[in-house]
Amino acid sequence: MRQLILDTETTGLNARTGDRILELGCVELVNRRLTGNNLHFYINPERDSDPGALAVHGLTTEFLSDKPKFADIADQIRDFIQGADLIIHNAPFDIGFLDAEFALLGLPPVSTYCGEIIDTLARAKQMFPGKRNSLDALCDRFGISNAHRTLHGALLDSELLAEVYLAMTRGQESLVIDMLGESHAGGEAHAPRVAIESLDLVVIAASDDELAAHQEVLDGLDKAIRGTSVWRLEPAPVSAVSDEQAA
């Protein structure tokens, strides 16, 4: 499974009115493992950045003047994303700019070359409704350090988003994917399956000190809400629920 975390920096906010891409970064994941096979370009956008955009990325017209134009690197980008799923924060923005750049060259849109396009902003809004879901906010939420991020940069933001995406999807399903990735990487296509029922699972009971600490936390919750916290409410017995439903 090959995935690319992609980010762009642009001269402004609207590709339809002539804004252009001036930086592109892609970080590669294979079976949820960072490979180090990344793609990064500074691009001469052939125009100045809007003052607001310049304040965000800090890439001046002078700095970009000797960098390749998008037409010079379009084939490398198309080859790199071929068949891979793209993971992008606020995907419509970046895809819209890439499609506009390809259109200027008479090329088909991004979706022609890549697999699925995954929008981490849309997923974050589903996971954390009503919360701030910017890249910085998600880094804070998942404990990912972004202290070295003073300005936006396509490659740095892609690296941070890769960590955020792995944290967002670090569930039971992704654990299975991780295990599959390890077996495929080692070439063990016919590795023996483990029968879960045969495992002798160890149950570790809480100590008296741990139970007392837990009780103290519950007391604090009760005090804070001036009532009984949900953690003290016991579920109704299964038989009682069944009888009620039967009635």
The residues facing 1 across adjacent strands are none
Establish whether 210 is an annotated binding residue: no
Cβ atoms of 114 and 81 within 8 Å: the answer is yes
Establish whether 244 is an annotated binding residue: no
Compute the half-sphere exposure of residue 149: CA atoms within 13 Å on the CB side of its CA: 20
Tell me the one-letter amino acid at 29.
L
Q: Tokens standing for 63?
A: 């700095």
* Cβ-proximal residues to 9 (8 Å cutoff; 6+ apart), any chain: 21, 22, 23, 53, 56, 57, 59, 152, 153, 154
| Active-site annotation holder among 40, 89, 148, 152 | 152
Tell me the one-letter amino acid at 95.
I
- Catalytic residue check, 214: no
Q: Tokens standing for 1?
A: 């499974």
Determine how β-strand 39-42 pairs with β-strand 21-30. Answer: antiparallel
Q: How far apart are CA 134 and CA 120, in angstroms?
A: 10
Compute the half-sphere exposure of residue 226: CA atoms within 13 Å on the CB side of its CA: 0
Establish whether 173 is an annotated binding residue: no
The residues facing 224 across adjacent strands are none
Q: How far apart are CA 217 and CA 201, in angstroms?
A: 28
For helices 120-127 and 154-168, the axis angle rounded to 10 degrees is 40
Establish whether 57 is an annotated binding residue: yes
Catalytic residues: 152
Annotated binding site: 7, 9, 57, 157
Annotated binding site for substrate: 7, 9, 57, 157
Annotated binding site for a divalent metal cation: 7, 9, 157
